[in-house]
């Protein structure tokens, strides 16, 4: 059997993330005793399961990944639909969201987390097969490709939106947007796709600043009470006490850490679910600006390594899958850290590899498995042909 090649840089970073995660999950719960028992052992088990899943995916090649794309998608689609009708005995709502199955001895299972993995595979497969058929690319063929992507991705997105889980929708959007931009479509379509969110955000900012009454009545009024509460808590954290409680506490925890922090186990700012979505606040409170900066640098190194692996990919499929994972992880880190600092609304997005949570951790390990497949798809050759012209370039 061929020896499996793992990426040393990614493995080192994962070990560091595991250590930081366990240290601050323990710290977050030990001071205020929010829960009986410790989450460390569960997190370690999830890390071992995740590493095993990553190894399993890593042993596949790109063609085998395409073969499991549709079965993975349909299984998760079935689980999402079944979640709607599942009784509370097996799918109990948490924080008014019905997004998890209750699994004995394990905890909870969130199908929407694993749909990220399915989207990477299915959108990649659709794109590659489309370009094989439409070799003479036109604007019309590109629009047809976008339509096929929408047909596949919109149903699960709508289901997740109804759960409701706005944070997960944002992650899907980051993932799909990155893949679409690198799917090979015409530049004019790319420019249009870039312009749409820019215009929307700019328009909303103008309306919010100049026409607050209209903004509150006609825009916020169209959202659910839960979403309105989150947005108000973000825009006016010191006016909306209940909805902005986590935001204000996160700002206080991070700010009180100053440069070097209060020391390990020295946190004294209570934040509900501090070991999950707000674990960065715990890290910054105890280690200060220095510790928070170290975490950000580690994420930068992880994303940079994935970028370098993707850049050297020789197949279009590998490139668009790698880009999707880069977009997802970069946005997730930005959103989570931003919301703990009050810069972005609280959306329930976890911090990859650090927040406590089995589904999130396992799904991210699956994505790393894809990255290793991408790397192994071109490794093993010291030299490669350059543009079919007979010259050779050194591969590193």
pLDDT at 75 over 90: yes
pTM of the full structure: 0.89
Confidence of residue 13 (pLDDT cuts 50, 70, 90): very high
Residues near 347 by beta carbon (within 8 Å), at least 6 away in sequence: 166, 167, 170, 230, 335, 339
Confidence of residue 381 (pLDDT cuts 50, 70, 90): very low
Minimum mean pLDDT range among 34-38, 233-237, 267-271, 285-289: 34-38
Tokens encoding 308:
């370098």
Bigger pLDDT: 366 vs 357: 366
Mean local confidence (pLDDT), 173-187: 90
Contact 54, 361 (CB under 8 A): no
pLDDT at 385 over 50: no
Minimum mean pLDDT range among 6-10, 67-71, 237-241: 237-241
Q: CA of 158: how far to CAs of 86, 111, 172, in Å?
A: 18, 14, 11
State how far the Cα of 394 lies from the Cα of 103, in Å rounded to an integer. 50
pLDDT at 169 over 70: yes
Q: Which residues of 8-47 are buried (b: 16+ CB within 10 A; e: fewer)?
A: eebeebbebbbebbbbbbbbbbebeeeeeeebbebbeebb
Minimum mean pLDDT range among 229-233, 249-253, 265-269, 296-300: 229-233
Provide the percentage of residues in the chain whose pLDDT is more than 90.
51
Residue found under tokens 């420019």: 191
Which pLDDT does position 355 carry in this prediction? 94
Question: At how many degrees (to 10) do helices 279-311 and 358-376 cross?
Answer: 20
Residues near 300 by beta carbon (within 8 Å), at least 6 away in sequence: none
Which pLDDT does position 35 carry in this prediction? 60
pLDDT digits (tens, 9 = 90+) for 96-123: 778 888 887 777 889 999 999 999 999 9
pLDDT digits (tens, 9 = 90+) for 217-232: 778 777 777 677 777 7
Provide the percentage of residues in the chain whose pLDDT is more than 70.
90
Confidence of residue 380 (pLDDT cuts 50, 70, 90): very low
State how far the Cα of 396 lies from the Cα of 376, in Å rounded to an integer. 13
């Amino acid at each position: 059997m061929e020896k499996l090649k793992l990426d040393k840089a990614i493995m080192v970073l994962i070990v560091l993330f595991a250590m930081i995660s366990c240290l601050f999950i323990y710290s977050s719960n030990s001071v205020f005793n929010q829960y009986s028992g410790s989450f460390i052992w569960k997190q370690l088990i999830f890390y071992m399961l995740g590493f095993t899943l990553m190894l399993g995916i890593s042993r596949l090649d790109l063609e085998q990944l395409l073969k499991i794309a549709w079965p993975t998608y349909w299984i998760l689609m079935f689980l999402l639909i079944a979640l709607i009708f599942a009784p509370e005995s097996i799918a109990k709502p948490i924080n008014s969201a019905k997004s998890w199955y209750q699994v004995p001895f394990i905890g909870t299972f969130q199908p929407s987390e694993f749909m990220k993995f399915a989207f990477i595979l299915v959108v990649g497969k659709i794109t590659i097969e489309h370009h094989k058929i439409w070799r003479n690319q036109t604007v019309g063929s590109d629009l047809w490709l976008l339509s096929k992507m929408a047909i596949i991705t919109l149903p699960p997105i709508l289901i997740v939106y109804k759960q409701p889980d706005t944070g997960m929708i944002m992650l899907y959007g980051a993932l799909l947007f990155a893949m679409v931009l690198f799917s090979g479509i015409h530049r004019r379509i790319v420019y249009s796709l870039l312009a749409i969110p820019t215009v929307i955000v700019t328009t909303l900012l103008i309306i919010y600043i100049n026409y607050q009454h209209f903004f509150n009545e006609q825009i916020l009024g169209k959202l659910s009470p839960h979403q309105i509460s989150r947005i108000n808590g973000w825009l006016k954290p010191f006016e909306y006490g209940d909805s902005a409680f986590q935001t204000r506490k996160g700002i206080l925890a991070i700010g009180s850490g100053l440069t070097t922090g209060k020391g390990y186990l020295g946190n004294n700012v209570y934040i509900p679910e501090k070991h999950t979505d707000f674990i960065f606040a715990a890290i910054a409170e105890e280690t200060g600006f220095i510790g928070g900066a170290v975490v950000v640098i580690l994420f930068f190194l992880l994303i940079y390594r994935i970028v370098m692996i993707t850049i050297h990919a020789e197949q279009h499929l590998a490139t668009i899958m790698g880009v999707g994972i880069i977009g997802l992880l970069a946005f997730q880190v930005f959103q989570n850290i931003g919301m703990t600092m009050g810069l972005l609304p609280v959306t329930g997005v976890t911090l990859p590899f650090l927040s406590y949570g089995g589904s999130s951790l396992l799904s991210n390990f699956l994505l790393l498995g894809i990255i290793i497949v991408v790397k192994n798809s071109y490794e093993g050759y010291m030299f490669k042909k350059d543009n079919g012209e007979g010259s050779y370039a050194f591969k590193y």
